Amino acid sequence: MKLLVANRGEIAVRILRACRELGVGTVAVFSDADRSAPHVAMADEAVRLGPAPARESYLSVERLLAAARATGARLVHPGYGFLAENAAFARACVEAGLIFVGPDPAAIEAMGSKTESRRRMHEAGVPVVPGMMKPAAAAREIAEFGAKHGYPLLLKASAGGGGKGMRRVESAAEASAAFERASAEAAASFGDGAVYAEKLVERPRHVEVQVVGHPSGEIVAVGERECSIQRRHQKVVEECPSPVVGPALRERICAAAVRAAESVAYTSCGTVELLLAPDGSFYFLEMNTRLQVEHPVTEEVWGVDLCREMIRIALGEPLTIGRPAMRGHAIECRIYAENPSRGFAPSPGAIAALRLPAGPGVRNDVGVEAGGIVPIDYDPMLGKLIVHAGERSAAIARLSRALSEYEITGVDSTLPLFRALVADGEFLRGEFDVQWLDRRLAEGTLLAPPRVREEDVVLAAVALAGGAAVPAGQNPPSSNGSPWRQAGRLEALR
């Protein structure tokens, strides 16, 4: 039995490790940018797909299928990103006689459509953000909607987008005037005055539920993840459990997630993403029909191996996940080759030094190594740091400790952001929502410019002046007789 990993980077490495533990043979694929990448080195077999651009390599269905054919791989795991939620790819795999490690293509399709998935959720009794199904004919309809679903509301232009024509409505008293103005604005902007109302979820958190489905029809929810720390809708830090979800709410959101998965007869690992309001009400956002980037925090806390389980399911084996129980708290940091002090500008290039943290409760899922190149062609994620400890405060202390051991030089990284987070009061108290990080970054109150210490100056001066004698046990250098080295003196550095 042989599995082809149709991906690269840390997730390819994660899947390859799971295969090795399962005794499943592995085929890696690579573009010309990745011939020397860790995910290739770790596989039993490897097939070149094409040039660096993803279109010609990791996104080429044709070349991936050819690679599977050439190596005799029976299974294809898409990872996340690239073709992971592409129903046509899943279908092409099945049609080529391969086992696609994921749900049925129909489930991918249904959940890939905003309208179709909302319809199914509605039927399954999973709450979605309430909204009017058609434009309001009069201000009265707005007030009626508000009376039914509560304020504040958001008026949106039917023909709109990009925030234009959007208007907040705080109470019934404002409904009429707001409707007039929003309608006029919409007419002016889009030539169409139609507006509709949606319930506005204020300061929402992003909470998601991990589900594992099996062809037998069994679907298990494995708790929630807190993913509110986002930069422009991109998750940066994830936790398990959520600091604001207690047992009762957990039971409710897990039940809703199972209903959501059941509505598409889900048969793999998947995630139901929810918007959680401060009052504990929650709304379906979307379902990700694949293994998530942040799956490790669930694995650590719930003691499950999602990647392994997903492959086992695809192999037709029974669930081994049982009735898992939570223990402790886990946090994941996504480490990108981006400079958080420069608007998260990507920083491709060669990794000079890479020191990974280790010890208790530290897990490194990393797709690069020292001396390797971070190509400009793909998502610049280098890997993930996952910590696990008995409770949230201990997990943050452990994260802080691990970050003090973590070193990446040669390319910029998001490590400074995480170092700032673990020292931030609001983060420590768990007081954040999906806009929190963008807000704090915009305010400039999170990333303080590093303060140079006296010891830094000494380190700089000493290093430039010749640093250390040779380490004990090593031979002295062959060069000698430098009078400067004999009695070095570097005056007036500053």
Partner 1 sequence: MRLEGEPGAWRFTRDGLTRDVSVAKLPDGRLSLLFADGRQVCGRARATGMGQVEVVVAGEVRTVALADPLHDRLSHSAAPGAGSGDEEVRALMPGRVVEVRVAEGDRVASGQVVLVLEAMKMQNEIRASAGGVVARCAVAAGQAVDGGALMLVVRDSNG
Active site residues: 290
Region near its own copies per CB under 8 A, out of 71-79, 82-90, 206-214, 324-332: 324-332
> Using CB under 8 A, which of 55, 452, 475, 478 touches partner 1?
452
H or E segment and range at residue 483 = helix 483-486
In whole angstroms, give the CA distance from residue 479 to residue 457. 28
H or E segment and range at residue 48 = strand 45-50
> Using CB under 8 A, which of 416, 424, 428, 430 touches partner 1?
416
363 near its own copies (CB under 8 A): yes
User: What's the residue count for the chain?
Assistant: 494
- Supply the minimum distance, in Å, between the C-beta of residue 359 and its own copies: 5
> Using CB under 8 A, which of 407, 424, 428, 435 touches partner 1?
407
From residue 4 to residue 43, the character string flagging contacts with partner 1 as x (rule: CB under 8 A) and all else as - is: -----------------------xx------xx---xx-x
Region near partner 1 per CB under 8 A, out of 172-180, 287-295, 330-338, 446-454: 446-454
Indicate the pairing of strand 25-31 with strand 45-50: parallel
> Using CB under 8 A, which of 162, 247, 316, 359 touches its own copies?
359
Q: Which is nearer to partner 1, 163 or 467 (CB)?
A: 467
494 near partner 1 (CB under 8 A): yes
304 near its own copies (CB under 8 A): yes
Q: Which is nearer to partner 1, 17 or 252 (CB)?
A: 17
Taking CB under 8 A as the criterion, which residues in 265-284 touch its own copies? none
Taking CB under 8 A as the criterion, which residues in 41-60 touch partner 1? 41, 43-47
CA atoms within 13 A on the CB side of 472: 0
Q: Which is nearer to partner 1, 38 or 223 (CB)?
A: 38
- Nearest CA-CA partner of 89 in 58, 61, 67, 108: 61
Other CB atoms within 10 A of residue 310 CB: 23
61-71 helix and 87-95 helix, angle to the nearest 10 degrees: 30
In whole angstroms, give the CA distance from residue 340 to residue 449. 11
345 near partner 1 (CB under 8 A): no
Number of residues counted as binding its own copies (CB under 8 A): 49
- Supply the minimum distance, in Å, between the C-beta of residue 243 and partner 1: 26
Region near its own copies per CB under 8 A, out of 95-103, 144-152, 229-237, 355-363: 355-363
56 near its own copies (CB under 8 A): no
DSSP secondary structure string, 344-408?
Answer: TEE--EE--EEE---STTEEEEES--TT-EE-TTS--EEEEEEEEESSHHHHHHHHHHHHHH-EE
238 near its own copies (CB under 8 A): no
Instruction: Tell me the residue ranges of DSSP E strands in 128-188.
Output: 153-157, 167-169
The DSSP output letter for 303 is T
Q: Which is nearer to its own copies, 30 or 336 (CB)?
A: 30
In whole angstroms, give the CA distance from residue 30 to residue 35. 6
295-302 helix and 306-314 helix, angle to the nearest 10 degrees: 100
> Using CB under 8 A, which of 204, 296, 380, 410 touches its own copies?
296
Query: Which of its own copies, partner 1, none lies near 167, with the C-beta cut-off 5 to 8 A by kind?
Result: none
In whole angstroms, give the CA distance from residue 344 to residue 177. 41
How many angstroms separate the first and last alpha carbons of the chain?
66
Residue matched to tokens 């959501």: 260
328 near its own copies (CB under 8 A): yes
Beta bridge partners of 396: none
68 near its own copies (CB under 8 A): no
> Using CB under 8 A, which of 89, 179, 282, 406 touches partner 1?
406
Taking CB under 8 A as the criterion, which residues in 130-169 touch its own copies? none
Query: Which of its own copies, partner 1, none lies near 188, with the C-beta cut-off 5 to 8 A by kind?
Result: none
87 near its own copies (CB under 8 A): no
Q: Which is nearer to its own copies, 443 or 455 (CB)?
A: 455
The token duo for 160 is: 């709109």
Kindly list the distances between the CA atom of residue 152 and the CA atoms of 44, 140, 178, 265, in Å, as whole numbers in the listed order.
57, 16, 12, 35
Question: For binding to its own copies (CB under 8 A), which residues are involved?
Answer: 13-14, 17, 20-23, 32-33, 35-36, 42, 296, 299, 303-305, 307-308, 320, 325, 327-328, 350, 356, 358-366, 373, 375, 389-390, 394, 397-398, 400-401, 404-405, 471-474
